[in-house]
Amino acid sequence: MTTVALIPAHNEEGSIVQTVRALQEQALVPDRIIVVADNCTDGTVLAAKEAGAEVYESQNNTEMKAGALNQALNLVLPGLADTDLVTCVDADTLVGPNYLSEAARRFGLDPALGGVSGTYQGRKGGRFVGWCQRNEFSRWGFDNRNQRGKTVILSGAASVFTVGALRRVIAARAEQTKGRGRLKGEGVYNTGTITEDFELSMALLHTGSRIRNMLNVRIDTAIKPTWRELHTQRLRWDRGINESLFMYGITKYTHVVWRRRVLYSVYVPVSFTCLALVGFRLITGLGYQPNLFWIGIAAIMMFQKAATIVRTRGIWNAIGAFLLLTELPYDTFLQATFVRSLADGITHRNKKWR
């Protein structure tokens, strides 16, 4: 089995060495580690070479991360067998030492498995907004454990694929151009979407591959240190997921995500309305007198906030999350970002990877 690691990087001089080192220290060391330098204007290329990685510099790429990876994959895939592995790891992400060895073991046990990822944690920094993101990532890990690794979305931060699964995606996209398939785009990644990881997950599922999250593999990824950067990231995620769902329609693989998005679309205006009514009564002096029903609902929410992170974040962070108002600004911010993504999607405004 040959294993190739691709690291897409745009001006990642400060983090690229650590990412390369984490791959070099794997229990199963990749045969090739290739930094895909996309329109870099800093010292990323030199730092990657000094760390011992190969470097491929994208050529006239205007399609961001997906376009750069497609260029590199077009060069790498022809020399690999269907059973070989390709991993794509973001330049600000550190993978645990068992990341590739565990992936290889899983692929060996399940021939239908096409892609795997791990359970990822947020790295330090960002003060309050960073703390909230780390709690959020921890809750995603809680959900993964409840689902026993079953998933419909592989993390774009770090995932491993079999070459055979990627070739089936390429073939299905080629069929679509002839009017005989549903997968749009060309190559492995669809450059027409701004959430290429979610769309590729859908493409893998719709071409017969299974995907899983490895619960015993940790992936440490950078958090967004400011509200502005977080807004930009989540705006892209929300809009890209919505567009991919409309692209594929309702299928046996997308219906779970569709259901979650519809429920969230109902929850957001209800949440805003409740906050507005409570705020109005407090500001006007009418007061607010909660009854036992709403006290019970609040108690359930407080317990859920704490219980879902105590295992991975510890008791003190769980106590902080238990105070219901602690994460309320963060949740409200994400809800507002979701509304903005819907508005931008409807009006076709501001569609770019950023």
> What pLDDT score does 122 carry?
94
Compute φ and ψ for 55, nearest 5 degrees: -130, 130
pLDDT in tens, 103-115: 999 999 999 999 9
Element housing 119 (H / E):
strand 113-122
Indicate whether 118 pLDDT > 60: yes
Structure tokens at 337: 């970002």
pLDDT at 177: 61
For residue 260, pLDDT over 60 is answered with yes
Pairwise CA distance, residues 100 & 115, whole Å: 12
Task: Look at residue 343 and tell me whether its pLDDT is greater than 90.
Answer: yes
Q: How many helices (H) and strands (E) does the chain have?
A: 13, 8
pLDDT tens, residue by residue, 273-330: 988 988 898 888 887 777 888 889 889 999 999 999 999 999 999 999 999 789 999 9
**327-339 per-position pLDDT tens digit:** 999 999 999 999 9
Alpha-carbon distances of 46 from 68, 168, 220, 348, rounded to whole Å = 18, 35, 24, 39
Supply the pLDDT for residue 93.
Answer: 97
Residue 216 tokens read as 């015993």
The residue assigned the tokens 């238990």 is 322
- In this prediction, residue 120 carries a pLDDT of 87
